[in-house]
Chains A and B, each alone.
Chain A
Amino acid sequence: MALADAVLAREQALLDRVLATLRAHPATGAALRSARHAHQAHVRLLRGAVPAPTSATASAAPSGTASGTSTGTPTPTATRTPAPRAQRVAVPAHVPAALAAVAGAEQRLAAAERGAGLHARSGPFARLLAGMAASAAQQSAHLGTAAREGRR
């Protein structure tokens, strides 16, 4: 499923960007909470649909969950950092610019997922991708507003 692989890679990249922004600017926690939640949910769901590529690190427990119980996976630790192969994300030095950067990335993701939904062969998968695109569009609007309010 090349289409699903590409969607998963894009969702993971955006989640990495959100996590990097949260690390660089803890003050963005409230604004980015729903984006982190949404992309974690998308990555989890897509990983369930896409056969795991190779590594065990790819299935590490989702970071940030409050659960202290082990899920039984042999992963040594569930760290808050993204997978080692994650690309490094440059986070702007100021909070409004950092939020605007995530908003822009959400907008590009929404456009990519709309295109993927159009080309999906199965109707239900197209619907799922359209829902993910709509989620990214919401985040783009939400974070754009937060960035503007931060500049005031």
Chain B
Amino acid sequence: MTALAALQRALAGEHAALYVFGVVGGRVSASRQPTLRDAVLAAYTTHRGRRDRLTAMVRAAGGEPVAAQLSYRLPTPCRTADQLRAAALTVERRCADVYAAAVASTTDADRRWAIDALGECAVRQLSFGGAPEPYPGLPEL
């Protein structure tokens, strides 16, 4: 995969992440799940920042940033608190996967950024009920 293709895939992943976190953030109860709500809001802010950064990185690499789709299939029905948490966890796992792929396809500053993003996604998984894993972002291992 070229560096540009890897950045575009990461950007597409962040578009999807923002959609799901937007839905999850709208459905999580501030009064009954304050911890989950705080984690979702923090995740949304982080993913939005990464989307903007990736948009700039794609342009710098000479590409036209891939656009967001109108809607995405939610990873869970997103009705109960457990389903909302699981949806958030799935999104963080998928983002970890695309950032790990981006690490392999990039060099220098772009790779450094992808390495950091992978680490952030991995740590954030814990706030959505994920357990530590030997190889975050590397599903084949």
A contact set with B: CB distance below 8 Å: 34-35, 37-38, 41-42, 45, 110, 114, 117-118, 123-124, 126-128, 130-135, 137-139, 141-142
Contacts and interface: CB of A to CB of B under 8 A. Distances in A.
A103 B123 CA distance: 13
A118 B115 CA distance: 8
B137 A130 contact: yes
> Which of B111, B115, B116, B125 has the most CB atoms of chain A within a 10 A radius of its CB?
B115
Contacts of A35: 132
Contacts, number: 89
Contacts of B126: 138, 141-142
A130 B131 contact: no
B24 interface: no
Nearest to B127: A141
Contacts of A118: 108, 111-112, 115
A141 B134 contact: no
Top 3 A-B residue pairs of the complex, sorted by shortest distance between their CB atoms: A123-B104, A134-B122, A127-B104
> Which of A114, A135, A138, A141 has the most CB atoms of chain B within a 10 A radius of its CB?
A138
Interface string B121-141: 111011000011111111001
A138 B100 contact: no
A117 B103 contact: yes
A40 to B, nearest CB: 9
A131 B104 contact: no
B50 to A, nearest CB: 15
21 contacts: A38-B134, A42-B134, A110-B119, A114-B115, A118-B111, A123-B103, A124-B104, A126-B111, A127-B104, A127-B137, A130-B100, A130-B103, A130-B114, A131-B100, A133-B115, A134-B136, A135-B133, A137-B119, A138-B123, A138-B125, A138-B136
B64 to A, nearest CB: 24
Contacts of B115: 114, 117-118, 126, 130, 133
B104 A135 contact: no
Contacts of B118: 130-131, 133-134
B101 interface: yes
B96 interface: yes
Contacts of A142: 126, 132
Nearest to B125: A138
A92 to B, nearest CB: 21
B89 to A, nearest CB: 13
B105 interface: yes
